[in-house]
Amino acid sequence: MKLLITLAFIAAFLNGWCCSRTVKDGHFKAPSSLGDIFNKNRKKTPVMKDFNLHTNFIEYPSGENDLVIMNSIQENYERPEDLDNILTLLNDGTGLDMRQMWEYFSNRMKRIEKRIDHVKSQTSEILSRLSTVDCSTLAEGSPSGMYNLYIGSRATHAVRAKCDQETEGGGWTIILQRIAHESEDLATNFSRELRDYKVGFGDPETDFWIGLENVNQLSNSRDYQLRIDLEDFKGDTAFAHYEKFYLEDESHGYRMQVSGYRGNAGDSLTNLGKLDNYTAAGMMFSTYDEDRDTSHEINCSQHWAIGGWWFNRCSWANLMGPYRLPETGNGIGINWHMWRNKEYIKAASMMIRPTRSYN
């Protein structure tokens, strides 16, 4: 009943247009609160005088006690005849300034709408952070391209990454990308310290590494699979697909666990149980400043200047090596030995997605 009376009271304000008493030179000053309006009109009519008796306010502060005023109306005007008196007062045009009331409520509604829009924006951002963990969580029908991912349960910022929504049903998050270059000088330098490999570097539109920490956070959340795509300088392509892929955390050296090969590029990570001294599976990640390979003679990354990788003694694959054109003939570059032996790879990518979602 109280709420109904209050709504009726406000509706009467908005519908009871009468001549403004504050018009000067064709303009009128809008009140800033209900308090301003009540203070102006409280002694003009019996109903307003009666309202003053029911309330204990001497003066209504502007803006602060609008809610108190409306509550007081609810508490003291519950009888039908009281509501009739208020409506009669408003319809006669002898009470409150209706233009001021209209202006007041219009301004209040605009402020409320702005707050609602702000809340909607914040809610949308929160939902995005909760849902867009990797490219497999994008909305159905989302195209391949660049997206903001919120990786890990404590993500405080977005990771800009590239999504492949076409290959084998899509949902792939590209964690490593090496593109073709006309000159070796145009390629991103992958000979970096471990701290760079931890956080990631490069441009996801060109040469890019998403970061060891991000890969660990992703692969630690559920079961992932890995796909590697390769292109040589003749334009031929090949791929290697691993059904299980996992990267351990920093305390375990970002050790790579990978198995379940299929494809036409050859298995240069697990080597199908052969050439164990060059197997990347089960190895920790090494850089020139952090030697974690199994060689007792050399630091593979430093000795060969071949960037970071999961080196054994050393490896039959390295997609993070320096970019080399075919005429540079030392065989140390981007390699996948089971496909092209020591020939350089022109372009390569590593991408991952959850296993169960696409089986």
User: What's residue 8's pLDDT?
Assistant: 45
Q: What are phi and psi of 141, to 5 degrees?
A: 90, 0
Longest dimension (CA), the chain: 102
Full pLDDT tens readout for the chain, 359 residues: 444 444 444 444 444 434 334 444 444 444 445 555 555 554 444 444 444 444 443 344 444 445 555 555 554 455 555 555 555 554 554 445 556 667 777 788 888 888 887 776 665 555 555 557 899 988 889 999 999 998 876 656 889 999 999 999 999 999 999 999 999 999 999 999 999 999 999 999 999 999 999 999 999 888 999 999 999 999 999 999 999 999 999 999 999 999 999 999 999 999 865 656 889 999 999 999 999 999 999 999 999 889 999 999 999 999 999 999 999 877 789 999 999 998 999 999 999 999 976 65
User: What's residue 133's pLDDT?
Assistant: 85
User: What's residue 98's pLDDT?
Assistant: 59
CB distance 351 to 227 below 8 Å:
yes
Say which residue the tokens 């990354």 belong to.
301
Say which residue the tokens 């089960």 belong to.
282
User: What's residue 151's pLDDT?
Assistant: 87
- The Cα–Cα gap between 282 and 267 comes to 14
Inter-residue long-range contacts of 101-105, CB under 8 Å, 24+ positions, other chains counted: 101/13, 101/14, 101/16, 101/37, 102/13, 102/14, 102/17, 103/28, 103/30, 103/31, 104/30, 104/31, 104/32, 104/33, 104/34, 104/37, 105/10, 105/13, 105/14
Tokens of 309: 């990788």
CB distance 5 to 73 below 8 Å:
yes
User: What's residue 274's pLDDT?
Assistant: 66
Query: Residue 142's closest CA among 103, 113, 171?
Result: 171
Residue 24 is given by DSSP the state B
- The Cα–Cα gap between 59 and 88 comes to 25
User: What's residue 82's pLDDT?
Assistant: 57
CB distance 104 to 35 below 8 Å:
no
Q: What is the CA radius of gyration of the chain?
A: 35
* Domain 132-358 falls under CATH 3.40.50.720: no
- Domain ranges for the chain, please list them: 2-125, 132-358
Say which residue the tokens 């991103």 belong to.
188
pLDDT, tens digit (0-9, with 9 covering 90-100), for 91-113: 554 445 556 667 777 788 888 88
User: What's residue 329's pLDDT?
Assistant: 75
